[in-house]
Chains A and B, each alone.
Chain A
Amino acid sequence: MPQADIAHSATGAAPSQSPWKFLRLHFEFARVGFVNTLAYRLRYYTGIVTYFIYVSVYYFIWKAIYEHSVSIEGFDFAHLLTYIGVGWIIRSLYFNNIDQDLAYQVIEGRLAMDLIKPVNIQFMYVARAAGEAVFRLALLTIPTGVVLFLVYPLRPPASWGNAAAFLVSVGFSFLIVAAINFAVGTFALRLQSILGLLRAKFFLLELFSGLLLPMTFFPHAVQKILDLMPFQYISYIPMLIYLGKLHGGGLARAMSIQVFWVAVLMAIGDGLWRWSTGKLIIQGG
């Protein structure tokens, strides 16, 4: 049927994606992520309480520790409280579930539905998580921030410039976490059940991102090793920017390293994805 064939989309033509089309498509993915999250609104109201409790626990712990000293490792109590409080506020934004999403997609045998679409799976997942992040910003991050700033004496950003750099830096934090989660999630394709692995990753990130305590509180040798890893660029670095402990050249350098890690981690995720799909087992059917 040669005449019918002309009407069909051309075979062999590469998907010619202009940057504009790429953005529009991924904006659409983000929108779907946003709309899908609407169904789980309730989870976020309880989230506000959870985050408040976390910060309160750390408030009392650090208050007890600071009874006997004015400053630890260059942080006075007000600084440290802000570090912890704002650290949890931004966590509510950069946190995402790409790893779990992938794991469940594999467990429930739905990954095939992603694979039949001519899209970059990693970008699709990251875009969808970004849509969810916008949702969380409105329903979790901002309300949690308001509550915490009202209840505890948290400090504002060191300057307007720092505030702006801080916001951009949190954006990179989101991308770093998303890239790590995607990379870890790809293991679900080979191992089937990775929920244990995901728990391990969860605690690793909590500790090494600087969420629980600043990197300077770690032993020197450990700091040296962690300097070479992406984790502290998730929470520690944005918080240093917020507190005004990074500026000028140091700030530019820190944010460049964030960008570097986004690129490297995404490349690793892409490599792992290719490696895993070669050995894919789809559940069911």
Chain B
Amino acid sequence: MPPIIEVQGLTKEFRTFRRREGVLGALQNLFVREYLTVHAVDHVSFSIERGEMVGYIGANGAGKSTTIKVLTGILSPTGGRVISNGFVPYRERRHYTKHIGVVFGQRTQLWWDIAVIESFKLLKEIYEIPEPDFRKRLDVFSELLNLKEYLHTPVRKLSLGERMRCDLAASLLHNPPLLFLDEPTIGLDVVAKERIREFLKEINRTEGTTVLLTTHDLSDIEELSRRILIIDKGRILFDGDLEQMKNRLAQYNQVKFFLKDRTQIPRLAQIETDGIVCQRVDELTYLIRFDREHHSSAAVIRQIVNTLEVRDLLVEEEPIEEIVKRIYLKGEVA
């Protein structure tokens, strides 16, 4: 079966004009405009198979949202080829959008002043959802997302977490094979995030829905997707699974250890050889971060237990936040 999304050489340029400063500049702006071309997305290519859940990450302004907007038919690209679910999104918007679900975390697709259930009923008409299917899915979603209490509340009165759950349900009422989520967990508390992640996993498992999501919360990615796409300055820097990314890009491992008592503290200096530095977490807890290429975890641990009396010891991989932060800062995958 061909991939559900195929993106080849996708490019989106925005032309903005540079505003000059001051009164003279403003007058000048009226007559002569200097245009700047911004490459929001620059020759991006990837493909996504049916049933995949893919995390699409990048710093602010990296081009994530632009990509999503092209894929949802909102923007037309400057160049490249996009085929999604058998359609060219921006050319066949009305046909295409019938078979996708979209959630923009920062906005709602529900009608602001009417009850949630009224919005759902309107969506039923828009997507021509048969009554039994509509009832069935509404029941399932109400159960999974716990929507029952506020189905009759106008959207403007919902909290962010409640609204997001309603938006998520709204995007899936017509059971689309493809779901786009732009920062679906933005601003949500831990419990609300967890509930949304569980829901997405469930839908992906039972319906085989393909999910592409952008996020700044990397735990979304760790929980949901095996595959990760990293974009920076409009270019794809990494495309592969999470494990692969860790193996390839993690530079450090860290060992966290807990001293038995205070008498051990003076002996800490003894293990600080060969470029190993102890970082203090609290009085009895210390952290050693070491380059994976120069030191093996085993050697470091041996050194620690031979020198010090420790109560407990933990070996951790470099947190994915750290890896990603390094990628954003460097703008390339080393």
Q: Do A and B bind each other?
A: yes
Whether B108 contacts A113 by the Cβ 8 Å rule is yes
**Distance between Cα atoms of A116 and B94 in the complex (Å):** 8
Cβ proximity bits B96-119 to A, threshold 8 Å, 1 near / 0 not: 111110101011110111100010
Q: Is A196 part of the binding interface, using a Cβ–Cβ cutoff of 8 Å?
A: no
Q: Is B29 part of the binding interface, using a Cβ–Cβ cutoff of 8 Å?
A: no
Residues on the A chain within 8 Å of B128, using CB: 15, 17, 21
Residues on the A chain within 8 Å of B51, using CB: 1, 4
Residues on the B chain within 8 Å of A1, using CB: 50-51, 208
**Distance between Cα atoms of A284 and B104 in the complex (Å):** 12
Whether A118 contacts B50 by the Cβ 8 Å rule is no
Cβ proximity bits B65-84 to A, threshold 8 Å, 1 near / 0 not: 10001001111100000000
Whether B177 contacts A9 by the Cβ 8 Å rule is yes
**Distance between Cα atoms of A36 and B98 in the complex (Å):** 25
Cβ proximity bits A5-26 to B, threshold 8 Å, 1 near / 0 not: 1011111101101000100110
Q: Is A2 part of the binding interface, using a Cβ–Cβ cutoff of 8 Å?
A: yes
Interface size, A (range):
35 or more
Q: Is B86 part of the binding interface, using a Cβ–Cβ cutoff of 8 Å?
A: yes
Q: Is A112 part of the binding interface, using a Cβ–Cβ cutoff of 8 Å?
A: yes
**Distance between Cα atoms of A120 and B206 in the complex (Å):** 32
Most buried by B among A14, A15, A39, A112: A112
Whether B126 contacts A285 by the Cβ 8 Å rule is no
Whether B107 contacts A9 by the Cβ 8 Å rule is no
Stretch at the interface among A47-55, A86-94, A174-182, A275-283: A275-283
Residues on the B chain within 8 Å of A7, using CB: 175, 207
Tell me, rounded to whole Å, the shortest Cβ–Cβ distance linking B29 to chain A. Answer: 14
Whether B76 contacts A277 by the Cβ 8 Å rule is yes
Given contacts A5-B208, A11-B85, contact A116 B75 (CB under 8 A): no
B51, closest chain A residue (CB) = A1
Q: Is A38 part of the binding interface, using a Cβ–Cβ cutoff of 8 Å?
A: yes
Tell me, rounded to whole Å, the shortest Cβ–Cβ distance linking B169 to chain A. Answer: 15
Q: Is B174 part of the binding interface, using a Cβ–Cβ cutoff of 8 Å?
A: yes
Cβ proximity bits A32-45 to B, threshold 8 Å, 1 near / 0 not: 10011011000000
Q: Is A271 part of the binding interface, using a Cβ–Cβ cutoff of 8 Å?
A: no
Known: A15-B128, A24-B125, A285-B69. 5 other contacts (CB 8 A): A11-B85, A28-B122, A113-B109, A117-B109, A278-B76
- Please report B residues at the A interface, Cβ cutoff 8 Å: 1, 14, 50-51, 65, 69, 72-76, 85-87, 93-100, 102, 104, 106-109, 111-114, 118, 121-122, 125-128, 174-177, 182, 206-208
Considering the complex of A and B, which 3 residue pairs feature the smallest CB-CB distances, nearest first? A4-B208, A1-B208, A118-B98
